[in-house]
Structure 1
Amino acid sequence: MRKVWTITTAAAALVLGGCGVGAQDEPHPVSLPRHALTSPGPGTTETVGDVAQVICLVRDDKLVQQVRRTQTYPTPQTQLSSLVSGPTPAERNAGLTTKLSGLVLTARGITGAVATVEVPDVGESGARSDESLLFAQMVCTLTARPDVAEVRFTRDGQPLEVPLPDGSLTGSPLGSSDYADLW
């Protein structure tokens, strides 16, 4: 019996000793997988208990991810409505805000891994110097979902060019990496 125990212990030590990451001389970037904090599956809307809803708010002209707990898996429209509603009192006390106050945004659906958001025309009187942050909030909130990798914007059903942090415009679908300078 003692011989079996010794062989088993030695085998376990050998197997477990091979696990882990070897030492490196220099630091290397780590690419973490992008996934939601909870993920009942695409299109799920039933009550699933305590679910994490990620939204991106703003502090000092930088994006800040906030996690709110809800009882149902949030739809893209729910997340957009949360952005427009803005921070909770506790989030406001922490210096968070939103650039989307007063807008009427409509989630048009998800095709493949691209969400489409209809953005209203705010007219010249509504031109904003913080438009890049405005679109970044929507992109970073929706791409925190497991079923969305990019966001496309439309106005009156037509593709809309939106600003990037460098001031350039693009009509292409956008991912959170397009707004990496705003974190």
Structure 2
Amino acid sequence: MSRRPPGPWCRLGAALVALGLLAGCGVPDEDTPRAVAPPPGPFPTSGGVVTTPPPTLTAGRATEVLCFVRDDRLVRVQRRVDGTPTVDAQLQHLLAGPTAAERDSGLSTALPGAVATAAARHVGTEAEVDVGETGDETGRSDEVLAFGQIVCTLTARSDVDTVEFLRGGTSLGVPRADGSLSRRPLTVADYADLVAPR
């Protein structure tokens, strides 16, 4: 007994069943678009080298105050940083000078002429700054502004009230705004006449 080939209705029914199964395997439509998070890296490249995506640049979580010079006045500048720097880290940022953008806005520094190198440590509410010897080839030599920059910068911190300058462990006499030398711990009030209004 020979089998008859399936009729047109049978073939149509089979096609409809197949279409129904295929429709059930797709992603359903949504009324609004939604964000899709990328899978976690690292991601392989065509060369077989594993790479990680670059970090996202975000604004810093803390504010660091540095004092630079404009028109022979001390100017406070705020920078955003990832975390509150140590006293010495903040001093090193000051010694590095203004950024290109800050220089373009007219800011400069008097530090190279008076304080080429320095290190700071925290002692209670005082910052002790050990000042290195200046070299023969230095820039500006306006010591009042240079030491004022350091005092203005470090006393802008909530945990520093005074700054004492040392050289080789001995108190160093530094000029105040009125031109007098002082070996005692200094505050921003000693340079108040030089600080530009905010």
* TM > 0.5 fold call: yes
Q: Tell me if 1:78 matches 2:89.
A: yes
Out of 136, 145, 150, which is 2:157 matched to? 145
Q: Specify the alignment match of 1:154 in structure 2.
A: 166
Percent identical among aligned pairs is 49
Paired positions, count: 134
User: What displacement does 1:112 show?
Assistant: 2.1
What is the root-mean-square deviation of aligned Cα atoms in Å?
A: 1.9
Higher normalized contact order (CA 8 Å, seq sep 6+, divided by chain length):
1
Question: Which one-letter code corresponds to 1:169 in the other structure?
Answer: L
Q: Which one-letter code corresponds to 1:100 in the other structure?
A: L
Question: Aligned in 2, Cα 1:124/1:91: closer, same or farther, shift over 3 Å?
Answer: closer
Amino acid at match of 1:105: A
What do residues 101-131 of structure 1 show as CA deviations (whole Å, max 9, x unaligned)? Answer: 3711101x22221110000122687696410
Tell me the equivalent position of 1:116.
Answer: 128
Map Cα deviations across residues 146-165 of structure 1 (whole Å, 9 max, x no partner).
Answer: 11000000000111000011
User: Pairwise mapping of residues 24-43 of structure 1 onto structure 2 (< 5 A)?
Assistant: none
Determine the C-alpha separation between the residues in 2 that align with 1:90 and 1:125: 26
Q: In the alignment, residue 174 of structure 1 is paired with which amino acid?
A: L
Of 162, 166, 171, the match for 2:183: 171
Larger Rg: 2
1:118 partner SS: strand
The DSSP-based 3-state class of the residue aligned with 1:72 is: coil
Unaligned runs of 5+ in 2: 1-59
- What TM-score do the two structures reach when normalised by structure 2? 0.63
User: What is the 5 A alignment of 1:60-139?
Assistant: 60-101=71-112, 103-107=116-120, 109-122=121-134, 129-139=141-151
TM-score by length of 1: 0.68
- Using a 3 Å threshold, how does the CA distance of structure 1 residues 123 and 89 change in structure 2: closer, same or farther? closer
User: Deviation at 1:66?
Assistant: 0.3
